[in-house]
Structures are given as C-alpha cells and as structure tokens.
Amino acid sequence: MPYHEFEVSKCIPERKMHAVVKGAGEDLTSCLPKGYLNTIPGTISERGCAYCGAKHVIGTPMKDVIHLSHGPVGCTYDTWQTKRYISDNNNFQLKYTFASDVKEKHIVFGAEKLLKQNIIEAFKAFPDIKRMTIYQTCATALIGDDVDAFAAEVKEEMPDVDIFV
C-alpha cells in the first residue's frame, strides 16, 4: 500500500526541525529530531511535550516537594506513575500528585484564581512540605495564565513557603 500523507498530518513550518520522517534506506541516526529546541505550546513533537519532559526531569528526583500541574487533569495523569518510576518507594512526590484540573470554563474565563486556590489548598493539606514546583501545560500557556504572578502572591501571603515555576 503506498504511503499517503494527509494535509492535516503535514508538519507546520515552525515544527520542521522537531519532527522528521524516516525515508527508505535511512537508519535512525540520520533522522533524529533536534531535541534542544524549545517546544511550541499546543503541538506535540517526536520527544513529547515540554511539560511532560519537565515533570520527569525536574519532578522525579526532587523529594518532599509538592509538584502541581496547572492544566487539565489528563496531563497530570499522563506523567504520574505512567511513564517511569512505577514504584514510589514511599517518596512523597510520587505518592501524591496535584493538578489544578482546568476545565473548559477556565480556558474561556481564565484559570489563575483556580491556580491560587489550589496552591494554598495543597500547602494546607501538607503543612510539613514547604516547597512547590508548578508546571504549566499547553492549555494554560496558550491562554496566557501568569503563573509567576500568582506564585509570588502566595509567597507574600505564606512567607514560609517557596515556589518554583
């Protein structure tokens, strides 16, 4: 059966360096995507989304830190014990997962207040944990939520905590 590329499957020009099509006779070393380029929110590359990569690279080795994903719950599920480190070995950051659980109404009207509420709620639920990382997914990046501003607001209200966005 001949290979046919549909219009919807064609790579947009900005993504050409992220995605490759392996041609006949090429080995894998000649068709690797450029992994050092920034990922554009809203598009998937050969290596997965930037959020997923950050969640695993930053989140997995950090102990006793609340990792909060600001986006739809599906993004959080995709990175919580589904990719690697299946056994949590009683590590807090792998036993518990936090998501702002953004819904359609938040995409339309903004999810920043929801984020602030979730940050405070997570710190109150685990008063011994004083550090948090917040990961922004495509959905909240595309609507322009100012995660840094709301993290700074919470840090002013709760000076004993530290938040890394």
Q: What SS3 class is residue 133? A: strand
- Integer Rg of the chain from CA: 19
- Would the pTM count as exceeding 0.85? no
Q: Say what the pLDDT of residue 96 is.
A: 77
Cα separation values, 67 from 51, 85, 119, 143, Å? 12, 15, 10, 21
Q: What is the pLDDT of residues 28-72, one digit of tens each?
A: 666 655 655 665 655 555 556 777 777 777 776 777 889 899 998
Q: DSSP H helical segments within 4-60, as ranges? A: 50-54
- All CATH 3.40.50.1980 domain ranges of the chain, comma separated, are 49-164
User: Given the structure tokens 């993004």, which residue do they identify?
Assistant: 75
Per mean pLDDT, which range of 57-61, 126-130, 131-135, 139-143 is the poorest? 57-61
Q: What is the pLDDT of residues 1-10, one digit of tens each?
A: 566 777 766 7
So what's the pLDDT on residue 122? 95
Average pLDDT over residues 119-147: 91
Residue 72 and residue 101 in contact, taking contact as beta carbons nearer than 8 Å: yes
* 45 or 141, greater pLDDT: 141
CATH topology of domain 49-164: Rossmann fold (3.40.50)
Rounded Cα distance between 30 and 10, Å, is 20
pLDDT in tens, 107-118: 898 898 999 999
H or E segment to which residue 90 belongs? none
Nearest to 38 by CA among 59, 9, 18, 12: 18
Q: Residue 94: what pLDDT?
A: 67
Per-residue pLDDT, 131: 93
